[in-house]
Amino acid sequence: MNHTINCSPTHIPDSLSLASEAVFAETWDSSVLAEILREKLRSGEAPTFLLLGRREAALLRSHLAAAFGEDSVATLRGTYYMGLEVVEIDFPEFFHTGGQKTTLRSTGQQSKSNSRSDTDSCSIWRLRLD
C-alpha cells in the first residue's frame, strides 16, 4: 500500500488540531479508511463524517466513477461512503474522520408502527469545527 496513516488522539476535530489521518499516493484506497475506522471503533470512537480536501475528494470521485459511472459522482454532496457523510473542505490535501455517533436508549411510548425493543437505539451525529 502507498499511504501513510496518522491517527489523532481526538475524535472531534477542531481548527487547532486538524491533521490528516492519511496521505494517498495516486489512487483512492478504501482499505486505508477501513483500517482507520477499525482503529477508532476499537478505541470506542464512532466517526460520522469523512472530511476530504480537494485532492482526496477528486480521488474518491474517480474511484466512485469507475464503479458507478462519471455522471453519478459529479458532486460528493449528500454522499455517504462506508457509513460516513462525505464533506469536501477547502484544503488542497486533507483526509480526516470526525464527529461522533452517540447511541441513546429509546425512551417513552412508541407507536405500534414503530415498535422497538428497549435494547434498540437511535444515533445522533455531531461535527464540531471550532
CB of 3 closer than 8 Å to CB of 22:
yes
Q: What is the pLDDT of residue 72?
A: 84
For the entire predicted model, the pTM comes to 0.66
DSSP-derived letter for residue 15 is T
Q: How many Å from the N-terminal Cα to the C-terminal Cα in the chain?
A: 33
* CA–CA separation, 55 and 50 (whole Å): 14
- Answer whether 120's CB lies under 8 Å from 4's CB: no
Kindly report, residue by residue over 3-55, the tens digit of the pLDDT: 444 544 444 444 456 778 999 989 999 999 999 999 999 998 899 999 999 99
Residue 74 has pLDDT above 60, yes or no: yes
pLDDT greater than 50 at residue 2 = no
Give residue 12's pLDDT: 44
100 vs 122: which has the higher pLDDT: 100
Give the cell for residue 30.
Answer: 478504501
Specify the 3-state DSSP secondary structure of 95.
strand
Mean pLDDT of 88-116: 66
pLDDT at 54: 93
Mean pLDDT rounded to a whole number for the chain: 75
Q: pLDDT of 50-72, one tens digit each?
A: 999 999 999 999 999 999 998 88
Domain ranges of the chain: 3-7+15-105+117-124
